[in-house]
Structure 1
Amino acid sequence: MATLSTKFNSGVSSSIGSPGGTVVSEDMDKIKWQKQIKIATWNVKTMSQAGKINNAIKEMQRMKLDILGISEMRWPGTGIKNEDDYTVYYSGTTDNTYKYGVGFIIEKEMAKCVKNFIPLTERIALLQLNSKPVNINLIQIYAPTTDHGDEEVEQLYSQVSKIIQTLPKHEIMMIMGDFNAKLGKGRMGEHIGDWGLGERNDRGDMLSTFAAEHNLIVSNTFFQHRTSRLYTWKSPDRRTRNQIDFVLINQRFRNSITDMRTYPGADIRSDHNPLIGNIRIRLKKVAKKQVKRYDYRKLKDTNTKNIVKRKLETILQGQENETAVDDDLKSLQNVIKKVQEEHLKPDKNMRKSWMTEEILELMEIRRIHKNNPTLYKAIQKQVRIKIRSAKEAEKLEKCIEIEICQAKFDSFNLHKKVKEMAGITKRKTINVLTDEQGIVVLDKENIKKTWEQYIKELFHDVRTDPPTIDKHDGPQILKSEIEVALKNAKDRKALGPDEIPVEILKLLEGENMEWLARLFNKIYDSGIIPQEWIKSEFVILPKKPNARKCSDFRTISLMSHLLKIFLKVIHGRIFKLCEEQVSESQFGFRRAVGTREALFSIQVLFQRCRDVNCDIYACFVDYQKAFDRVQHSKMIKALQETGLDGKDLKIIANLYWNQVSSVKLEGENTNNVQILRGVRQGCVLSPVIFNVYSEHILKEALQDMEAGILLNGERINNIRYADDTVIFADSFESLQNLMDRVTLYSRKYGLDVNISKTKCMVISKKQDIYGTIFIDGTPLERVKQYTYLGTNVNDDWDHSREIRIRIEKARAAFIKMKKVFTSHDLQLSTKLRLLRCYVFSILFYGVESWTLTEASSKKLDAFEMWLYRRILRIPWTAKVTNKDVLRRMKKEMEVLNTVKVRKLQYLGHIMRNENRYFLLQNSIQGKVYGPG
């Protein structure tokens, strides 16, 4: 790398060439600047208004900009979005508010040179570009205005300083944006040139200090231009002009900027002008792995389906029974890839834009008359009218498409188009990753290493050698078992490492199915798992907004679809044996029971105890990553005691002892990591295995414990849904004993109770009960209410709170989809169907355990009428009776009636199935013993 140094001249710089100095280097002739690009920064005031992004792109095309940095973008969240032939990178607020925000708009070809995009905060974003001879790092900022305190400005500079420390010193770094600071006219040291504007203010001093500390030059102060090409902001009265937007570059590369000026003729209805610089650099495309996507919905077409079936028959050609399993799988992969390429490539469906050429032409006319306020406002009014008309036309088109899907009973596309119309389609989100010290990780290789280390630590355990399984029993896998497994498999699931989709496997029949049965039996008899099957890939999803640490993300495992089918067959064989080992107090992952039954049992049992003055002392136990902490040796031991066939046990053991996984990050994978503990995520066997494992913990912990609530002469002390456990007793002392045992035996099996998230509650009519529960000497927080399985549980056992919460959640869902429900272009029948799907489904969650009162019934009726009035767009000032509203809706009231019907139907369902719902029947009819 050539060493560059700068000698300053008298301070007057040409607008072309090196501003204020001459580069001296014996290696300078080796650096060839082969391309010049135009980079700009612009405070656009907002990008959230309709048509603003199209306006910005049109101005970029007119000014021939390659990269535009945006300040005050006002898009919430973070992500990447494609607009026409441009890519938009944005970083906004985490609380879904439309304020602040920064971003970049880049021409699509140039976007191929983007190495990385880091959305740091709603005021700072980093874009890294691959280029020669060195890479470019662009930092876009939006500094607080004078309405905000200096502390916020200092915090922003501090955050930018931390980023600068992580960037390679030998790379070009440009910091640009709206600094809301005035540097003033005249040279100030080496980092500020002669061609500033106006008088310096306090924020200008802060910017000057920041530039000096990091050896940055404020490039737009080094180019001599007339005043109209220097100012970046104009006051609303058009009398005051200031220079508050700047572009800073590290001094070493100052000569790469050949010019920097503002363009006051540009128009986006902002009081700022774009600041544009010419940069001499050669960009270089980043080699990215392209993920091939196929459209499996094409298989619904009979002709395509039959063609693919015929193609699949070639699987058997040249295959012998003695062929190795890995060779068989390779042959299957090759045939499927050929079929995908020939028949299942997705059609190029270009998304239509509502923006019209007429609107863009009006925007251009508006720009030309920027200096004529009266004419400008008149043209802007026309632009607004045309935009509104275009948006309405787009909405009408979407409504027609929704009605067509409704008529065809095409639920998939119906809901897809409804979400598009409501504006709740998912954009590609971008997350920032920090290491254990809180430092942002920028380099892709370091990001991969950070994730690899996290997965290693998460699944690390001191594990014994694989267990010896002496039994070799187990019947042959039948073709009928595979057919049932395939029939029950879900479509449109993410592919595993072998990229074999279940949609194509479902087309296997006849001799092909016999070939698959032979393949499965080879694996089943030997117990040896193919290499492609023991690999899985983790994809990461944020658990919360602004997720930054690895622990803030959820790791979702993707595995082979063929393996899933194989394990579904195993699941069908072991499920009944495993379920027999699980007690009735476990409602998770069991047939015919779920969250509804868990909520009903706890609500009814605790209410009946309260009715007979039996105080309940309960702990809502939260485990730390329970599914990831299962110890494999103890897991196999528990399964052996269940009495599974030897071949099934051998398959499970070999699968767990040989499994490896990697993390998939933007098409690239980390190194494989051996998984030494935890049940396999996304595996059909995992819920069953976890139930058996947790049952062993609870059985050992609560053995011979005479604590709990006395129900029909028997003690009951826990209700569970998977790892969501409620432990309860009739006194603090009994509950403490139960929790001591549960904590001890859970730890013995590798599970740790999360003390900070585990809460205790006392349900009683008395107000003077004091005390709490301790775990390892640490007191648990005692709460008056708790959210269990998504519903509100409180110490007053007042169901009206839960009903109010349900109403507000349903109201929020309605408001989120208001565009759909209030559209004039959708039929009432379609709106009602969508209302029941998206709103009533949220309202009715847990309805079976509600206790209705007159007040809560009125609230439900009022909410239903609120929905109908909004659908009909009746203002609150209009004097329209509820009767008239129902007449217009062509229906009767249904919410309260549905609640009552569902409660009665569920009660009848429970009472008719004594064997399945013995605990629930006991909770309803059994004798609960009060005090004394």
Structure 2
Amino acid sequence: MTTKQTGTHQLGRRPVIQGPRPQLGKRGWVEKLATGVEGKGEGEKKLKAAIDFLKIGTWNVRTLRSPGKLELLRKEMTPYECDILGLAEMRWTGVGELNGGEVIWSGEEKNHMRGVGFLLSKRAKDALLGYNPVNSRNIVTRFNGAPLNIAVIQVYAPTSDSTEEEVETFYGQLEHTIEELPKKDVKIVIGDWNAKVGTDNLGWEQVMGCHSYGQRNNRGERLLEFASKNDLLITNTRFQQKDSRKWTWMAPDGKYTNMIDLVLVDRRWKTAVCVCRTFQGADISSDHSLVMCKLKLRLKRTTRQQRHEPRRNIDALGNATVRAAFKDKVEQRLANSPSQPVELNDRVRQLNEAIQSSVREVLPTVCKQNKPWITEHTLQLAKTKREMKERRQESEEREKEYRVVCNVVRKAAKTDKEEWLQRQCQEIERLAGDNRSREAYKLINQINRAWKPKQSAIEDKNGKMLQDKAEVKKRWTEYCRGLYTDRANSDTVITELDQISPPPNEDEMHYILYEEVAEAVKRLKKGKSPGIDDITGEMIQAGGEKLQKRYTQSVIRYGRKGEYQRNVQSIDDGVTGEIESADGTTSVRGAGRIQERQMHDTSNPDSKAYGREDDIDLLEEDRVELQGNLDRINEAGEAAGLQINIEKTMTMVFGQEDIEEELEIRGRSIENVTEFVYLGSLLTWDNDCSKEIKRRIARATGVMAGFKTIWNSKHIRTETKISIIRTCVMSVLLYACETWTLRKKDKDLLRAFEMKCYRRILHIHWHQKITNVEVQRRVGNTRNIVQLIMERKLSLFGLICRMEDK
């Protein structure tokens, strides 16, 4: 009996075995799998359990800024089943992660140049320990693996027109990055090296094989020195295969090819490398080819991820039928619940469980739209382009046809994006027509808001980038503990406050009345995000009278000498810290995870938690009086554990540019300035509002430009566009306008900006010679922006006049 095998040894597409399956033991199947011959069915599942291959690739994509380029990359990589794909020349700015770590990148701060990153599979995301975005040429990711953790570094080396100094800086930074990695990690360095190592491995046998490609150059010599110093092996050169599976870059004229995209592996793990080769069939409109390496390594999940409940449609409580059903379920849960616990926390927990279980039974889930905007037609064009790439070298005509279809795919993706935006605009107009302004403006923000990448990697106190998720959570805990540490004798302050407090009212009730709870529930705002208990104000309002009475029984009003409870919630760069001083614990939420800690120092039972900074403004006509008040504030703050931030404290004299003598805090001088921004407004020494008005116009102009898609849409009525201008643009322009002193030139600037906005949405160009009066008539505007400002100023004046003197 013979076995016929067809196909070749490939990474993404498995060969087919025809005929009876040979009888092999477990070890025999492992050896077969190591050579790339994989079977199907139950036997294949057992093989994958025995050895779980890790597929790592690298690809210079030239850019991922084009519309649809990332989605096309995802589709292109699907048949190759790559776990970790390193990317070069992404041309994304900043650093961050996308879709929970699916894409991680590090680029230039502002310029769309260079940039490196990773595209991770689901199991790679689950195994991700952390990452370090070093710079636009170097990024590190670490994964939980077996038998050891795996560190993968993606690089983009300087090109041939770079100076030797730039090349040495690149390698120096790369060596420093490797030195910072744990010694036991399996180290893999991949990327576009812009270096040719050649075919001659004489004297370099430890770092390269004898199956390389091309001629060595000076940059290749430098790469070999780097590999030798760091004990790395160039896996591309180890395997005998045809040239089309070796070269990784083709010149624009299609006549020259080189091997410059390489995979370097820690030499002690060279036996784990099964194969490393180029895939010319993969296409992303780049002059570089996909390189993939297959290793006998395994990824492990970092931790068992918590299962989050699907989001529920809270707006459904606005429906009378749903609201009644929810109320009945809550009352039923409360009636069936055991007697109320003694502890307050247990009572609240019981109420929360009753509400949450009712939510799960009654409210529908929110259907999240994850459908990509790129169409199937564009994907089919991309498939055709991929097929034409394989034949592009047959003739010049084939090469021209391939370049034409590349442009066709690019334009098709751009058209798909524009059509998707128009569909979004139609939905905005539909929501606006149904008076569902909240949903409409939410969709507007999704289209026009500036994209801010999420980044979980942070630095420690010494400026070192933390790459481990556990270390990141620990650092946030340390940071929050430092914010709320008592650095002074606060007991004295508390005693003083207790002494000056008014005497207690003996008749004061220590229990909150039901009427107070009902009124508080009635005033709860809708549309607010819930806390960690996932209970929203709408749920409590819809729970009915019985739920409110149960809340009344669970809340105690403590007297002046009772046990005080304080809940403080602050948001900083996507990290939420919820501090509960009643039980002395803190929950720090970052990157979707919650880390609890003791808020007080467990080694010191008397330690307390207080803040470090506050915002205080002092106004005096005399410098000596101002210095005295500043000294008293400083002394009182230090007694309470507060410190004045000297770097952020400054003085300004209204009516004169310089101060007679600088003020001091703890022996350090305070900077005197002629202008500064306070509460969002620019204040100047001469009270000139012109600078602030120009600043507000610039801000509003940026907002106006961000709504380009809305203004260009033919599916949104002019009335809706005007409403968006008044709510989203004018609100930015007129911030604190009640305090402005307007001159004629300021009024002219404001009116010009207003007309510019209206002409933009009406698509009126300057050469059409349409007067401002006609524009005002078309938009139905009965008062101009200056008149609106005067009305606001008079309204504030009336409010001040009605205020009582205190």
TM-score for the superposition, normalised by structure 1: 0.72
Contact conserved, 1:294 with 1:340, CA < 8 A, in 2?
A: no
**Do residues 437 (structure 1) and 465 (structure 2) align?**
no
SS in 2 for 1:307: helix
Please name the residue that 1:111 is paired with. 125
- 1:502 counterpart (513, 519, 537): 537
Q: Which residue of 2 aligns with 1:363?
A: 382
1:861 aligns with 2:751: yes
Distance 1:742 1:837 in 2: 40
Is there any run of 5+ residues in structure 1 with no aligned partner, and where?
1-14, 20-30, 543-553, 560-654, 681-689, 691-721, 920-932
Matched, 1:281 2:303: no
1:789-813 residue CA offsets vs partner (Å, 9 max, x unmatched) = 1111122321100001000011111
1:742, 1:528 → 2: CA distance? 29
* CA offset digits 1:285-336 (Å, max 9, x no partner): 3421223243222322222221121111131445547844344334323322
Q: 1:909 to 1:321 in 2, by over 3 A?
A: same
Aligned mates of 2:345, 2:765 — CA distance in 1: 68
- Tell whether the 8 Å contact from 2:83 to 2:123 is kept in structure 1 after alignment: no
The percent identity for this pair of structures is 30
- Conserved 8 A contact 2:97-2:105: no
Which residue is equivalent to 2:307?
290
Q: Deviations over 1:28-73 (max 9, x none)?
A: xxx9961224321111111111121222122212444343221111
Is the deviation greater in 813-822 or in 195-204?
195-204
User: C-alpha offsets along residues 643-683 of structure 1, whole Å, 9 cap, x if unaligned?
Assistant: xxxxxxxxxxxx74643213234454434222455569xxx
What secondary structure does 1:239 align onto?
A: coil
Alpha-carbon distance in 2 for matches of 1:148, 1:874? 49
Secondary structure of the 1:756 match is: helix
Q: Alignment partner for residue 759 of structure 1, among 630, 645, 650?
A: 650
Which residue pairs with 1:906 in the alignment?
A: 796
1-side partners of 2:697 and 2:353: how far apart?
53
Q: Given residue 240 of structure 1, which amino acid in structure 2 is its aligned partner?
A: Y
Asked if the contact 2:599/2:609 (under 8 Å) is kept, the reply is: no
Corresponding residue of 1:46: 63
Q: What SS does structure 1 have at the residue aligned with 2:616? A: strand
Task: Report if the CA contact (8 A) 1:174-1:247 is conserved.
Answer: yes
Q: Map 1:401-416 to 2 at 5 A.
A: 401-416=427-442
Question: What are the superposed Cα offsets for residues 605-636 of structure 1, whole Å, 9 maximum, x if unpaired?
Answer: xxxxxxxxxxxxxxxxxxxxxxxxxxxxxxxx
- Within-5 A mapping of 1:508-907: 508-521=543-556, 527=562, 541-542=572-573, 556-558=576-578, 656=581, 658-675=583-600, 677=608, 723-764=614-655, 771-874=661-764, 881-883=771-773, 885-886=775-776, 889=779, 891=781, 894-907=784-797
- Corresponding residue of 1:716: none
Give 3-state SS (helix, strand or coil) of 1:258's partner. strand
For 1:346, give the aligned amino acid: T
Alpha-carbon distance between aligned partners in 2 of 1:361 and 1:347, rounded to the nearest angstrom: 31
For residue 367 of structure 2, what is the aligned residue in structure 1?
348
Map 1:393-432; keep pairs closer than 5 Å.
393-422=419-448, 424=450, 429-432=454-457
Distance 1:790 1:177 in 2: 45
Matched AA of 1:831: K
Residue of structure 2 in register with 1:142 after alignment: 156
Q: Is the 8 A contact 2:458 2:466 kept in 1?
A: yes
Q: 1:846–1:431: structure 2 CA closer, same or farther, 3 Å change rule?
A: same
Q: 1:153 to 1:756 in 2, by over 3 A?
A: farther
Matches within 5 A, 1:124-163: 124-163=138-177
Deviation readout 1:517-538 (Å, 9 max, x if unpaired):
1221487799457xxx8898x7
Once the two structures are TM-superposed, the CA of residue 234 in structure 1 deviates from its matched residue by 2.1
- Once the 2 structures are TM-superposed, how far is the Cα of residue 148 of structure 1 from its aligned partner? 4.6
- Partner of 1:590 in structure 2? none
| 2:355 aligned partner | 336
| Superposed CA offset, 1:184-212 (max 9, x none) | 33225222333444444444344333323
The code of the aligned residue for 1:227 comes to: D
1:662–1:673 CA contact under 8 A, matched in 2: no
Is the 1:261–1:276 Cα contact (8 Å) retained in structure 2? yes
Are 1:259 and 2:289 matched, yes or no? no
CA distance 1:398–1:369, shift in 2 (3 Å): same
Residues 751 and 864 (structure 1), Cα distance of their counterparts in 2 relative to 1, 3 Å cut? same
> Would the alpha carbon gap of residues 396 and 668 (structure 1) be closer, same or farther in structure 2, given more than 3 Å must change?
closer
Deviation string 1:93-134 (CA, Å, 9 cap, x unpaired) is 474543332222233355333343444433333333333222
d(CA) in 2 for partners of 1:899, 1:522: 45
Going from structure 1 to structure 2, the CA distance change for 1:283 and 1:92 (only over 3 Å counts) comes to: closer
- What's 1:268 paired with? 284
Q: Deviations over 1:416-473 (max 9, x none)?
A: 211222264666x123222222222223333333333333333222667797999584
**Structure 2 residue aligned with 1:243:** 259
Distance 1:729 1:525 in 2: 36
**1:153-177 Cα distance to aligned partner (Å, 9 max, x none):** 4444444434433433223221211
Describe the SS at the equivalent of 2:118.
strand
Distance across 2 between alignment mates of 1:523 and 1:780: 44
Q: 1:327 to 1:849 in 2, by over 3 A?
A: closer
Of residues 150-159 and 832-841 in structure 1, the stretch that sits farther from structure 2 once superposed is: 150-159
TM-score, L = length of structure 2: 0.83
Residues 34 and 274 of structure 2 are in contact (CA less than 8 Å); yes or no, is this contact kept in structure 1?
A: yes
1:50 match: secondary structure? coil
Correspondences of 1:205-244 after superposition (within 5 Å): 205-244=221-260
User: Are 2:148 and 2:185, in contact at CA under 8 Å, matched by a contact in 1?
Assistant: yes
Superposition RMSD on alpha carbons, in Å?
3.5
Question: Cα offset for 1:843?
Answer: 0.5
2 CA distance for matches of 1:298 and 1:528? 39
Does the 8 A contact of 2:129 with 2:467 survive in 1?
A: no
1:725 alignment partner, SS class: coil
> Offset at 1:345?
5.3
Change (3 A) 1:56 1:231: same
* Distance of aligned partners of 1:308 and 1:219 in 2 relative to their CA distance in 1, 3 Å threshold: same
Is the 8 Å Cα contact of residues 293 and 345 (structure 1) preserved in structure 2?
A: no
SS of corresponding position for 1:449 = helix
1:804 aligned partner, one-letter code: K
Moved more, 481-490 or 283-292: 283-292
* One-letter identity of the residue aligned with 2:254: R
Once the two structures are superposed, residues 834-869 of structure 1 have per-residue CA deviations (whole angstroms, 9 ceiling, x without a partner) of: 111221111001101111111111111222222233
Q: Deviations over 1:463-513 (max 9, x none)?
A: 677979995843131111111222222345444454544332223433333
Cα pair distance change 1:901/1:522, threshold 3 Å: closer
Q: Is the 8 A contact 1:87 1:107 kept in 2?
A: no
Kept in 2, the 8 Å contact 1:308–1:339? The answer is yes
Letter in 2 for 1:161: E
State the AA in 2 paired with 1:305: R
Counterpart Cα distance in 2 of 1:486 and 1:673: 32
- Residues 1:379 and 2:405 are matched in the alignment: yes
Is 1:184 the counterpart of 2:198? The answer is yes
The Cα offsets for residues 534-573 of structure 1, whole Å up to 9 and x where unpaired, read as 898x78632xxxxxxxxxxx864347xxxxxxxxxxxxxx
